[in-house]
Amino acid sequence: MFEIIQDWYRRHFTDPQTVIFAFILIVGVSTVLLLSDHLLPILVAIVIAYLAEGMVAWMARINLGRTVAASVVTALMVAAILFVIFVLLPLLSKQVTDLIRALPSMLGRGQQLLLQLPEQYPDYVSARQIEEVLTLARTELTQMGQRVVSLSLASVVGVITFFVYMILLPLMVFFFLKDKDLILRWLADFLPQERRLLRTVWAELDVKIASYVRGKVIEVLIIWASSYVAFALMGLDFAILLSLAVGLSVIIPYVGATVVTIPVALIAFFQWGFTSQFGWLMAIYAFIQFLDGNLLVPLLFSEVVNLHPVAIIVAVVFFGSLWGVWGVFFAIPLATLIQAIIKAWPTADMVAE
């Protein structure tokens, strides 16, 4: 057993570059895991600044200067935040309130339909089974209501923290963009002079991660907008809320589209029943999903990420359990990082060559 471990160590850790890179990797991962709750605003600001660097660099090339370019990007970011807070959130809040008010009538109609099943299919469904399903649904709704109340009572501190972060976040993004070279030189002083492996991994990741995240943001916006136009033209209730859910569902590959189909179909069914309007809406929704999978995804992410579907699902589950929404959103870039590290990691044979 000792010889096996010794042989594995000799093959993977004979190069000093490997040891240095492993140390940097362990320190970085440990810092993020242990201090992610405290460092979340800083990490988010770093990610936003990294994604906006392309725009800042373009403005700098046309002689605007990094300070002016950073100011423009920060102003756009503040405008987007204000739009979300004062325009989008009130609309979403109103639709959520309307949905909660409409739930009793929806549930009443659903209950009537369920109670008809034993009469229509007596060989497959019994009245007792339907009653058990309804009892379970009432229990879950009661617990959900209690959680909403407790959440609303505990949300005052969260709202204050949110607004503090909304002030600090643009400031941090501005200084990260404006003083990028200064910050990178300062960080380089803590790293070894010889960091060939680190440069190799970063060179492979830089284009892929930036392209993936920017492409994913574009995909969310396109699917959200197209879904809203379709739902609004069809007259579907809660069009803004449902279209936002459809847009955000593309963040979770393979699973998101399947999950979000359920509320879209249920609300359409409760509104129209099994009519031609219901059929047309679901056909248009399926067409949007088809265009996303067969046109948008190949166009935006061609050759950006080369991961097996199983690896993607595992990454989404693992990083989502660690960091929630942020973990789900960055699951594929993080999996790409791990793939790049494994690919670039030198072995004894590579060192000998």
Specify if 322 maps to a domain.
yes
Average of per-residue pLDDT values in the chain: 77
DSSP 299-346: HHHTTT----HHHHHHHHHHHHHHHHHHHHHTHHHHHHHHHHHHHH--
Specify if 285 maps to a domain.
yes
Number of residues that this document lists for the chain: 353
Using CA of residue 164, residue 166, residue 170, residue 172, what is the dihedral sign? positive
Specify if 304 maps to a domain.
yes
For the stretch 224-272, pLDDT in tens is 999 999 999 999 989 999 999 999 888 877 678 888 998 899 888 888 8
Query: Which structural domain, as residue segments, surrounds residue 307?
Result: 195-347
Question: Mean pLDDT over residues 212-228, rounded?
Answer: 88
Specify if 41 maps to a domain.
no
User: Most confidently modeled of 81-90, 97-106, 135-144, 282-291?
Assistant: 282-291
pTM above 0.85, yes or no: no
Question: Mean pLDDT over residues 179-186, rounded?
Answer: 87
For the stretch 273-330, pLDDT in tens is 778 898 999 999 999 999 888 888 777 775 556 666 777 778 778 877 777 766 777 7
Query: 80 vs 87, 88, 166, 227, 247, CA distance in Å?
Result: 10, 10, 11, 21, 17
Question: Mean pLDDT over residues 25-45, rounded?
Answer: 75
- In the chain, pLDDT over 90 holds for what percent of residues? 13
Specify if 67 maps to a domain.
no
Q: 120 is written with which tokens? A: 């229509």
Question: Mean pLDDT over residues 163-185, rounded?
Answer: 86
Specify if 134 maps to a domain.
no
Specify if 126 maps to a domain.
no
Specify if 223 maps to a domain.
yes
DSSP 259-270: HHHHHHHHHHHH
Cα(155)–Cα(103) distance, integer angstroms:
24
The answer on pLDDT for 334 being more than 90 is no
Using CA of residue 268, residue 271, residue 273, residue 279, what is the dihedral sign? negative
Burial class (CB in 10 A: 0-12, 13-18, 19+), 130: middle
Query: 256 vs 261, 262, 313, 329, CA distance in Å?
Result: 9, 11, 11, 12
Number of domains in the chain: 1
Produce one character per residue of 189-208: b if its CB has 16 or more CB atoms within 10 Å, e if not. eeeeeebebbebbeebbeeb
Cα(333)–Cα(33) distance, integer angstroms:
17
